[in-house]
Structure 1
Amino acid sequence: MPVRLCGSARTAARLPVTCVYVGRGSRYANPFRTGDTSPSGCRAAMTALEAVDLFEATLRGPVGRRYAECFARALHGLDLVCTCPLDAPCHADVLLRLANQTAFIRTTCSLEGPVR
Structure 2
Amino acid sequence: MPERFKITSPLMKTPPNGKRVCRPYKWGNRITVAEAGSNQAACDWFLEHQCTEEFRAAARRELKGLDLGCYCDLDQPCHADILLKIANS
Tell me the TM-score range normalised by the shorter chain. Answer: 0.7 to 0.9
In the alignment, does 2:44 pair up with 1:56? no
User: Any unmatched runs of 5+ in structure 2?
Assistant: none
- The structure that has the greater radius of gyration is 1
Distance 1:57 1:25, change over 3 A: same
Please name the residue that 2:28 is paired with.
29
User: Could you tell me which amino acid in structure 1 is paired with residue 54 of structure 2?
Assistant: R
Identity fraction in percent: 34
What letter corresponds to residue 41 of structure 2 in structure 1? E
* TM-score (norm: length of structure 2): 0.88
- Calculate the TM-score normalised by the size of structure 1: 0.69
Cα deviation, residue 34, structure 1: 1.2
What is the RMSD of the two structures over their aligned residues, measured on CA atoms? 1.4
Structure with larger RCO (C-alpha < 8 A, sep 6+)? 2
The runs of at least 4 aligned residues of structure 1 exceeding 4 Å deviation read none
Unpaired runs of at least 5, structure 1: 39-45, 102-116
Change in CA separation of 1:9 and 1:98 when aligned onto 2, cut-off 3 Å: farther
Number of aligned pairs? Answer: 87
Q: Partner residue of 2:5? A: 5
